[in-house]
A and B are shown apart, each in its own frame.
Chain A
Amino acid sequence: MISRRSFLKNAIKGVAGLSIPLSIIGIAGPRKLFALNNVTAGVRWAFLINTYKCVGCGLCVKACKTENEIPYDANVTRTWIERYVHLKDGRVFADTPKGGRDGFTTSKIDLGEGRYQDIDEKDIDKAFFVPKLCNQCENPPCVQVCPVGATFQASDGVVLIDRSWCIGCGYCIMACPYGVRFFHPVLQVAEKCNFCYHRINKGLKPACVDACPFGARMIGNIKDPEDPVTKVIMAERVNVLKSEYGTKPQAYYIGMDEEVR
């Protein structure tokens, strides 16, 4: 029979024993977490895209694939250009052949599976190009789902992938509402745009920003009120993609249309 005395003794021992592994695992207290989350000084990269200026030449996609060693002929890319064509009869077509890598050198819309839609110039209500890339969300869902801590957000807001730690499970690819993540066909790990992290840390601009002849792409530090990009975002009418997801994307668009998702 277990006595009250021995039960209480063992209970105290048990609780004391359980508290030891907790301190070894080292879960940070809420106060420490709060302090970590409230870093106000420094850099927070944000992107600004002017869809009026984009002509769909695709030089950004070409430069990105070369700069970031993405296999050139594989049908994956860190950034891509979408074409939207609204017709007078209400139909809307959108395509992105090879991610816009070779530009848009035909007026035909690529419907996939080798089918093309002829478009008569006179039927067009409005048509435009939209460059897409990683939004470097303030609340990145791709980071939350990673089971091994292989993707994370750096202090400057850029979401990075730890290539040697990624197990290639693909949860993050599923979790991204914008579809910017893909499998690197050679390295077999998750891959995504990181605003050319190696370039922005050397004072250069991302390859796509520099490659664009028309200034449709801009990058800036949103914590610096004097930054030209910050000034536009604060003072002009800009929009973000899928704000309803609560991801707080940091790629801002000028001239966004309802159909663009």
Chain B
Amino acid sequence: MKGHVWRPLYAVICLVVLVLAARYFMVPKDFGIYERGYMYGFHRKSAEDYWKTFKVKYQFNTDYCRDCHAEKYSIMQTPHAIIHCENCHGPVLDHPTDPEKLSVDKKRELCLRCHLPLSYPTSGRANIRGVDPITHNPGIECSACHNPHMPSLEAMK
């Protein structure tokens, strides 16, 4: 073949080699096709570890709280037993070292999440007793009168 054929051909071959070399160095070593096949499983394996080692904030473990706060467990005899400590007291994180003290959400809005009456016939919401927040002691924290750990009206402060 003549030089005018080979010259551009060399250029193309160089380009292909360059792309393959760049690909070899730039694509991470753990990039590959894993369990879910070519269509869904094409990824870096180490990305799974990123999510597996993500920090857990909520324990949602009743025994964890009970070890120190056993006196609060009167709540277990009440309808509020189904609500986990951390839903009102915030995520445990590394408590008691970090943070040393958890903050309690005492806002009226927290109670109204369930106790704002909505009579929706096919929803569990219809079965929860509620109050009208506009007429029922506006501006006062619910816990001023009601004990959230002993919520029955008979046990009012």
Contact = CB atoms under 8 A, between A and B. Distances in A.
A37 B40 CA distance: 10
B121 A198 contact: no
Contact of A56 (B38, B57, B118): B118
Contacts of A219: none
A243 interface: no
**Chain A at the B interface: mostly helix, strand, loop or mixed?**
loop
A175 interface: no
Number of chain B interface residues as a range: 35 or more
Interface stretch (A124-132, A180-188, A228-236): A124-132
A103 B122 contact: no
B74 interface: no
B46 to A, nearest CB: 9
Number of chain A interface residues as a range: 35 or more
Contacts of A255: 122
Contact of B51 (A24, A165, A194, A211): A194
Contact of B124 (A55, A102, A204): A55
Nearest to B105: A62
Nearest to A56: B125
Interface in B108-126: 109, 112-114, 116, 118-125
A192 B58 CA distance: 19
A85 B20 CA distance: 59
A19 interface: no
Q: Which of B1, B43, B50 has the most CB of A within 10 A?
A: B43
A57 B51 contact: no
A155 B60 contact: no
A162 B47 contact: yes
B68 to A, nearest CB: 20
Contact of A107 (B56, B83, B118): B118
A153 B40 contact: yes
Nearest to B124: A55
Contacts of A16: none
A93 B41 CA distance: 40
Contacts of A216: 124
Interface in B29-48: 31, 33-44, 47-48
9 pairs of A and B residues whose beta carbons are closest in the complex = A103-B113, A152-B43, A210-B60, A155-B35, A127-B120, A198-B54, A162-B47, A55-B125, A57-B113
Given A55-B123, A124-B121, A211-B87, 9 more contacts: A54-B123, A59-B113, A63-B91, A66-B91, A143-B40, A144-B40, A149-B31, A198-B55, A213-B82
10 contacts: A36-B36, A55-B124, A56-B118, A62-B87, A129-B123, A152-B42, A154-B48, A155-B34, A162-B47, A163-B50
Interface of B: 1, 16, 20, 31, 33-44, 47-48, 50-58, 60, 82-84, 86-87, 90-91, 109, 112-114, 116, 118-125, 128, 133
